[in-house]
Structure 1
Amino acid sequence: MIDTMVDRVKGFFLKPVETFRASRKDDLGTVFTYFGALLLFYAVLSSLVRAVSGTGGAAGIVADLILTVIGGFVGMLVFAAWVHLWVYVVGGRYGVMQTVNALFYGSTPSLLLGWIPFVGIIFSLWSLVLYVLGVRELQGISTARAVIAIAIAVVIPLVLIALLAAYFMVSVATVTPVLM
């Protein structure tokens, strides 16, 4: 099991297309175990980084660890369902499990190295590229369609968050009294 995980990790960094093709028939247990192990690794290291930077004590580390693992699983499942909606719209017909595989395996770089302050963004972007490659390979659609599906799935929530933030900023500015 450990050897398989190490081979997959190396594969997603060095030969992602071949590794996605090899993962096409992976069952739910294999995918969840792989993702869970990497998520736990990420949770431990990111919690320690936040504790060292002074943003949490001992209780904060434990709470952060638990919330990161639970939130990571639930969040990724919701994200996978959301992405699959758009994958289906652009023509992907191989089922939601293949989208889950693409996203869970595609998260490898951000889970392994995304906890590193400032540098982690690079690995999050690499994960985004892997999402596209994974969706393309596992759903049997073109690169352009995979890019469209991932882009829509990422941009719509970002726009909604920006609009919500703008709304709250305007509402606070209009309600806050001006001191004379």
Structure 2
Amino acid sequence: MSYSFTQKISGIFLKPTNTFRDLEEERLGTALFHFLKLSVLFSLLMTVTLYTLPGIPITKKWSMASQVFQPLDLFAALLVVTVVTPLIIGVWLHVWVYLLGGRRGIGQTLKTAMYSYTPFFIITWIPIIGLFGGAVSTLYPQTVGIRELHHIPSRRAAGAVCAAAFLPVVALFGVIVMAFVAPVPMLSFLTASVGSPATPDCPYLLDDADLPGSIVHYAAAEVENAIISRDAKEYGCLKEYTATYAEEKPSSATSRRIQHFIMIFPPGNASMMVQSDEAFYRGLVPPRNADELPAPGIGDRCISYRAPGLGSSANGAYDSYCIIFAKGDVYEKFITVGPSPDYELLKDLAGRAAAKIP
């Protein structure tokens, strides 16, 4: 029986047994094409939602990331994850299917894995519980699909699905428990070859001696070249560093934090990166608009913006401030994160950072 795109979606939801039976002889390429269409649709709608509906709780978790990643970047990342993850899970699932008697080939398992993610694409839209509920909702159609496409009993099909789904969770839980209860010498042995992250060798990062008494240095790292933003790479970014400053260490969810980004560019390109950021902030429209502020007179080019209602806490929504400047070949960006943002402190830190650049 030939199924249309929508008939496959409704069939997996309403009549999974009959649907999988009818799709048994379907070619893997046909199933993959259906899955790619569903993945593109899901990634597109999710991107639109995250960038246009700030009332949804998940949007606020992405709000800071959305300043760094453009919608097209997020769409591409979602699409890659959406396509690759079920295929990897399908290979892992087939190991258990084979051990429990499934002999109809890995193609049938991959078809099952792809079609079983149909509920995930639909249920994930439910705020708060959507992600977990969507993941759990894949288990039943996976069990039905393995049973029907591999012609094995329900108990074996369920056993394969549960082993594939929960053994990694149990292993991860075991590692976490061991980290808390293992003796210190054992932990030292396990981590001896790993070492702790070294402070990046960047003369422009603020250290404890550069910071005012109200905040402390929290963390710093050099950004891997593979995850430097696309815009920065277009301007020839050579190095990127990031640091976080907080009111307390360890920082809690209610404390005020400041993120600091540093990029090193070829001559002249740091100011062009600031211009690119300026165009981005000026292009934002309600409800994600940004208000331009009088920029501090630092560096060769400096801009400053306030993004209203970017996050929320128990005391309501809070704003986020940013100061971006270029001085010579160095680009720096400061962003406030968390409630009660202190713009004067942000200006103070930006001034201190500019003073470290020759």
TM-score by length of 2: 0.44
The 5-angstrom pairing of residues 29-48 of structure 1 reads 29-48=29-48
What residue is the counterpart of 2:169 in the other structure?
158
C-alpha distance 85-15 of structure 1, shift in aligned 2 (>3 A): same
Checking the alignment, whether the CA contact within 8 Å between 1:41 and 1:111 is kept in structure 2 is: no
Q: Which runs of 5+ in 1 are unaligned?
A: none
- 2:110 maps to 100
Instruction: Report Cα offsets for 1:28-60 as digits up to 9, x if no partner.
Output: 221111111111222223334444323132635
Tell me the equivalent position of 2:120.
Answer: 110
- How many Å separate the matches in 2 of 1:67 and 1:170? 37
User: Letter of the aligned partner of 2:103 in structure 1?
Assistant: R
Instruction: Give, in whole Å, the separation in 2 of the partners of 1:93 and 1:11.
Output: 25
Distance 1:83 1:166 in 2: 26
Q: Which has the higher contact order (CA 8 A, sep 6+)?
A: 1
Listed as ranges, the matches of 1:17-36 within 5 Å are 17-36=17-36
Cα distance, 1:123 vs structure 2:
3.8
Structure 1-normalised TM-score?
0.84
CA contact (8 A) 2:17 2:148 kept: yes
Q: What is aligned with 2:16?
A: 16
Residue 138 (structure 2) aligned to one of 111, 124, 127? 127
Sequence identity (%):
27
Shift of 1:144: 0.3
Distance 1:65 1:160, change over 3 A: farther
Please give the root-mean-square deviation of Cα atoms over the aligned residues, in Å. Answer: 2.5
The equivalent of 2:85 in structure 1 is: 75
Give the drift of 1:10.
1.2
Does structure 1 residue 57 correspond to structure 2 residue 66?
Answer: yes
Task: Report the Cα distance in structure 1 between the residues aligned to 2:4 and 2:38, rounded to whole angstroms.
Answer: 13
Aligned residue-pair number? 173
* Cα contact 1:109–1:123 (8 A) shared by 2: yes
SS, match of residue 38 in structure 1: helix
Letter in structure 2 aligned against 1:88: Y
Q: Which amino acid aligns with 1:39?
A: S
Determine the structure 1 residue equivalent to 2:160: 149
Looking at structure 2, the residues matched to 139 and 95 of structure 1 have their Cα atoms a distance apart, in angstroms, of: 8
Q: For residue 129 of structure 1, report the CA deviation from its aligned partner.
A: 0.5
Q: 1:164 to 1:82 in 2, by over 3 A?
A: same
Q: Which has the higher helix share?
A: 1
Say which structure is richer in strand: 2
What letter is aligned with 1:148?
G
* CA radius of gyration, larger in: 2
